[in-house]
Chains A and B, each alone.
Chain A
Amino acid sequence: MTDEHKLTKKERRELKKQEWQEKAEREKRNALFKKAGIIVGVILVVVISIVGLIKLAGSSGLTSSSEINIPPISKNDITKGDPKSKIALIEYSDFQCPACAAYYPLTKRLLSEFGDKIYFAYRMFPLSTIHKNAIISAQAGYAAHKQGKFFEMEDYLFTKQTEWAELSDPTTAFTDYAKLLKLDVNKFKADMNSGEAKNYVANSQNQASSIGINSTPSFFVNGGRIINPRSYDDFKKIIQDELNKK
């Protein structure tokens, strides 16, 4: 009897010990879950907020741009294509902007593929605060325009952007491109530094910022701003859709 009682006492003690252990383990597990939950929660919140910010950064450009009224293509613009075509594509661009150089092959291909179906205008928006050679390169473009070879010069400026972007005096490089284009080099140099070129670029820059353009490249199809397409196919689709509209 006493033996049995002792045994049960021992058993009870063991049972209690086991319960404690289980409880401790459960608490330990809960604490671990709680910790893991906090860590996962913080990581999730950070990731979600990054995604949200990317969306916000993308949309803010769009909402502000929908209110932008851009002046239609005029005689003053540097253009390519047929003025009577259904599509008017306007690009605000900066020769020293890497994104503009990245978009250059796309617009080039677009213009060669659609030909006269697009009336294209290049408007200068040199971001002179971040790009030290933006203004002078725009003036070089204007000087080439005076000799009817703006788009040929654009080709050199964009494809060789990395060669001149950081030069303290890029005018020699620009003159070399003018030579390659068989331009009248003396006239080119004079035009590049003329008050006329400076005024043209400054006016273009002021006009662009006064209507609220804040990034380059900015594209407008028939007066409406488009979100910069991510690929050639996306860009082509926008133009194609616009053509099909009418």
Chain B
Amino acid sequence: MSLTKNNLSIACLIFAFIGFLDATYLTILHYKNAFPPCTISGCETVLTSQYSIVFGIPLSLFGSLFYLIIIGFSVAILLHKRKIFAHGLFISAFAGLFVSAVLFFIQFFEIKSFCQYCLLSEVISLVIFIICSLLYSKFLRTK
């Protein structure tokens, strides 16, 4: 499989979809006042910490929206190879990576616990960022 713009967008789409499932699952559970099945101890601590809610909105909902945006830009690039979409995708992916890194450090230094759903999301946003960077470089090369 060569690293064409189409293949990269599809890869990005797939990972964003996995991330979307992960974040949306947590969002639904939040509003149901329930916890997901946790295998790592401390998972509940992370999911119910003061950092899990911003302005009364659970972080996982922001996560779901982030992945939807990535899905949107990936589909847009699949359909139209316009530079503006590539800009949008790269900026979103970078923002996602930045937020993920902050959340990872909050888990590590502040809460001192981890939750596998959050870690999965953080890994996915890193993978998405790598794929999007490759895709973006292709767009930058083609004038």
Interchain pairs with CB closer than 8 A, number: 53
> Does B114 interact with chain A (Cβ within 8 Å)?
no
Give the secondary structure class of A's interface: helix
A56 surroundings in chain B (CB, below 8 A): 25
Measured as residues with beta carbon below 8 angstroms from the partner, the interface class of chain B is 20 to 34
Instruction: Report yes or no: B24 in contact with A214, Cβ–Cβ below 8 A.
Output: no
B34 A57 Cβ-Cβ under 8 A: yes
Residue of A nearest to B64 (CB): A50
Q: How far is the CA of A63 from the CA of B31 in the complex (A)?
A: 19
Q: Does A1 sit within 8 A of B, measured CB to CB?
A: no
Whether B45 sits at the interface, judged by CB under 8 Å, is yes
Flag if B79 contacts A57 (CB, 8 Å): no
Task: Please classify how large the interface on chain A is, using the bins under 10, 10 to 19, 20 to 34, 35 or more.
Answer: 20 to 34
- Residue A49 at the B interface, CB < 8 A? yes
B34 to A215, Cβ gap below 8 A? yes
Contact B33–A215 (Cβ < 8 Å): yes
**Contact: A129 with B75, CB < 8 Å?**
no
Docked CA distance A42–B20 (Å) = 12
Tell me which residues from 96 to 129 in chain A have a Cβ below 8 Å from any Cβ of chain B. Answer: 97-99, 127, 129
Given the known interface contacts A35-B79, A38-B78, A129-B48, the answer about A49 and B24 at a Cβ–Cβ threshold of 8 Å is yes
11 extra interface residue pairs, beta carbon distance < 8 Å, beyond A39-B75, A49-B17, A214-B44:
A38-B79, A39-B79, A42-B71, A45-B17, A53-B24, A54-B28, A57-B28, A57-B34, A98-B33, A129-B48, A214-B34
